[in-house]
Chain A
């Protein structure tokens, strides 16, 4: 039978584990705390809880744009899907995804939801003129040519790109194509429009 000592020992063990988990959850996320999610991702407050890290979205993505978040993205977000434009941009807006959004169609928990193309905004791309080849006097309009959205990037009269944050959908196509080294463009989740989670 169970002795009282054994019972107390087990209870103490459970409390200790809960304490450790609380401490682990308090570890601050690194500099890259904000994560660019695939299209259709639900609100920030629910996403980490809803995602079961099954890896279905990264398998079904036809362009392999979905990668897994690492420890630098925060301890609660490890292995959740994210878009890393330096590896592969999200091609949803270019139509290479065949307009079906396989990631959200296959997501078993609804962490990624099917949404209208017009309502999606993954984040915003920002330009650093100090690194941009066009601003350094060379001829380069790659970002403007690659951009799938009309008027998100406009060119000035002397062919320098200007980014319009309100039109940008944050797919990262321009970053992936940018020939500057280091890249002149950065993608953040600023202004991202997430899907509403329907319980």
Chain B
């Protein structure tokens, strides 16, 4: 697999965000990780953490409504853009299959595939509601990475986070499969982002007239998609998983994949 311009751009963006998380606290500009961020007086909180805290304490936390809504609003429009361009775990997992030489996916699944993640998300939320087990450190992979880095920079200690991160990579490698297994079938944070991306402003759409799948059984876009979206037949629900990596758009041999913004291509 050769690494295209957009892949390189995504890796650079993710690295830059790591750098911002590491450097900003030194100048007192921004504190925290993607679990919760504060710029002094202005705070934002991730929807997964908001849900876990509210269910774990069985209370609506009034002070978190605005910080939570800001993030939810961004997600409604941009969906899993975060997973494709910012989350360091996702990008590392995507590249890890170069090293492990995974087999490319041969067949394609039904539209219902990858939907076990909704059951997992519900189980995670139920655990905090039923037996008060809220462990955001387990369920928010980007938070783990940023926390490990800021903890190491400020204290010089590597905490328990590295073990959890290793666990994610082991889970992903065990499921020997093309693409980002953790992201498309397990990640609770990614799933909550998926289910919130109702508007999903930017998404690829296959132009059925141009697509040569019918004649030549191409399916290049579906094979290359790291989130394993059945692009040629995808409905809006399936497209909610799209992390805007633009691989399908870049690699279509007949340029049948168009980028649709607000329903217009």
Contacts and interface: CB of A to CB of B under 8 A. Distances in A.
B105 interface: no
Given A67-B157, A71-B163, A60 B31 contact: yes
Contact of B150 (A46, A48, A55, A109): A55
Nearest to B44: A108
Contacts of A46: 57
Interface in A51-67: 52-56, 58-60, 64, 67
B131 A50 contact: no
B154 A56 contact: no
Interface stretch (B75-83, B96-104, B133-141): B133-141
B204 to A, nearest CB: 23
Given A25-B133, A49-B132, A52-B49, A10 B31 contact: no
B190 interface: no
B24 to A, nearest CB: 9
Most chain B CB within 10 A, of A1, A67, A75, A78, is at A78
Contact of B159 (A54, A68, A75): A68
Contact of B143 (A15, A49, A54): A54
Given A75-B135, A108-B36, A10 B119 contact: yes
Contact of A55 (B32, B43, B111, B124): B32
A33 B52 CA distance: 23
B33 interface: yes
Which of the four size classes fits the interface of chain B? 35 or more
Contact of A109 (B61, B154, B164): B61
Given A6-B112, A49-B134, A59-B31, A54 B57 contact: no
Contact of B160 (A25, A68, A76): A68
Interface string B18-52: 00000001000001110111100001011001001
A21 B157 contact: no
B255 to A, nearest CB: 31
A1 to B, nearest CB: 8
B173 interface: no
Given A17-B119, A58-B154, A53 B127 contact: no
Contact of A108 (B56, B67, B134): B67
Interface centre among B46, B63, B147 (most CB of A within 10 A): B147
Contacts of A64: 154-155
Interface string A16-39: 011001101100000000000000
B236 interface: no
A10 B116 contact: yes
A2 B118 CA distance: 14
B115 interface: yes
B219 to A, nearest CB: 21
A114 interface: no
B143 A24 contact: no
Interface in B105-153: 110-112, 115-116, 118-120, 122-124, 126-128, 131-137, 140, 143, 146-147, 150-151
Q: Which of B37, B45, B155 has the most CB of A within 10 A?
A: B155
A49 B147 contact: no
A108 B161 CA distance: 21
A14 interface: yes
For the complex of A and B, list the 9 residue pairs with the smallest distance between their C-beta atoms, beginning with the closest: A14-B119, A49-B56, A54-B36, A25-B133, A17-B123, A18-B123, A21-B127, A52-B49, A79-B137
Given A52-B36, A60-B31, A78-B164, 15 more contacts: A2-B112, A6-B110, A10-B118, A52-B136, A54-B36, A55-B31, A58-B155, A59-B32, A67-B157, A67-B159, A70-B159, A71-B160, A106-B38, A108-B64, A110-B61
Interface of A: 1-3, 6-7, 9-11, 13-15, 17-18, 21-22, 24-25, 46, 48-50, 52-56, 58-60, 64, 67-71, 75-76, 78-79, 87, 106, 108-110, 199
